Amino acid sequence: MTVKQVTELNDSLEARVIKTLSLMDQDLPTIPVVLSQIMHMTASSNSSVKDLIRVLNQDQSLTARILRVANSAYYGLREKATTIERAVVILGFDMVRSLAVGASFIHYFSPKNQYENFDLNAFWAHTTAVGVFAESIALEMPSLDASDAFTAGILHDIGKLVMLIYFEEEFSRVLRRIAEERLDFFEAEISELGLSHAGVAGILLRHWNIPEVLAEAIEHHHQPLNAVNNLDLSICLHLADFAARYIQIGASGSPYFQTPSIELLKKINMTGRDFKAVLKQLVRKKEDVFNLISALD
C-alpha cells in the first residue's frame, strides 16, 4: 500500500469515525452526560463532594456498582461503605470518580455480541490491569495524579470498542493481519487502516469533552514520545500497558508487543534495571488486579 493510499484511507476512516459520533451519543446517552460530568470535576477547583454525589445519583446502577467495588477485597475496608457519601469519605473524591469511570464503561460500553478471535472478558481484564498498574507507577512520579493515571488506564483501549461495534469489517481485517503477520495490534491497524484505536480514542474523548490531559495521553499511549503536553502520563500509560501484557493479565487483542525503549525510560529518569524492579512490584499486585476485576464485573 502506497503512502498516498494510506493517507486517503486514513482520511476516509477518520471522517467516518467523526460522523459516527452522533450515532454513538444516541446509542449510549448516559455515558457522554454522566461520565463527562464526573471526569470534568477533576479539572474544576469548584467541584465538591455534593456535586459528585448529585451526578452519580442520576444512575442508580452505577452507584450500586461503585459501592460493590468500594466494599470489595481490593480495598479491604475495615468498615463497609453503605452510601456513596461514605464511600467518598473513605476512598476520597478522586478515587470514587475514577471508579465511576471504570464501572460505567465496563457496564455500558460492552458489545452485546461475541466476536471470533476477540475475547471481551479478557479485554476488560487487560484494561483494568492497566488502570491499576498505571496508578501504581504514577505514585512514583511526582508530576502525575494517580487517579488520572487509573482513569487513563481504564480508558486507554476504548478506541478498540468503537472499532469493534461500529466498524466491524475493518476490525476483522486488523485481526486477520495480526494473525498472518504476527504484528502488534497498533502496528496492524496502521498498516491495514492508516488509523489506530488510539487515534479513534482521541477523537471520541475530545468529542465528549474529556479533559485533554487524558485524551492526549491515551491518543499517544503506543507512541508516547509524540505527546506534546502530557508526556509523563503518556509514558506511564505505555509502561502500564506493557506490564499488563508482560504479566499476562487479560488480553488486548494481540499477543505481540515490544519492550519499552531505553530512550523512553530516560525521559522519566528510569533505567532498564529500574523498570525491571517496577515490573517485580507490579507482579505482586496481580491478586489485587483480579480482586478489582471481580468487583467491576
Q: In sequence order, what DSSP letters do the residues of the chain get, joined into one string?
A: --HHHHHHHHHHHHHHHHHHHHHHHHH-THIIIIIHHHHHHHH-TT--HHHHHHHHTT-HHHHHHHHHHHTSTTT--SS---SHHHHHHHH-HHHHHHHHHHHHHHHHS--SS-BTTB-HHHHHHHHHHHHHHHHHHHTT-TTS-HHHHHHHHHHTTHHHHHHHHH-HHHHHHHHHHHHHHT--HHHHHHHHTS--HHHHHHHHHHHTT--HHHHHHHHTTTSGGG-SS-HHHHHHHHHHHHHHHHHT-S--S-S---PPPHHHHHTTT--HHHHHHHHHHHHTTHHHHHHHHHHH-
pTM of the model: 0.88
Which residues, listed in sequence order, are joined to residue 118 by a DSSP beta bridge? 115
pLDDT value of position 201: 93
pLDDT value of position 114: 67
Cα–Cα distance measured from residue 107 to residue 243, given in angstroms and rounded to the nearest whole number: 25
The parts of the chain modelled with pLDDT lower than 70 are 1-11, 25, 27-32, 42-45, 111-114
Cα–Cα distance measured from residue 210 to residue 235, given in angstroms and rounded to the nearest whole number: 19
The full set of domain ranges for the chain reads 3-20+113-296, 29-108
| Torsion sign across C-alpha atoms 128, 133, 139, 142 | negative
The fold of 3-20+113-296 is: Hypothetical protein af1432 (1.10.3210)
pLDDT single digits (tens) 23-81: 776 766 566 677 778 877 765 567 788 888 888 888 888 888 889 988 888 888 888 88
Q: Hey, what's the torsion of the CAs at 78, 82, 88, 90, to 10 degrees?
A: -10
pLDDT value of position 282: 96
Check if the beta carbon of residue 196 is closer than 8 Å to that of residue 178: no
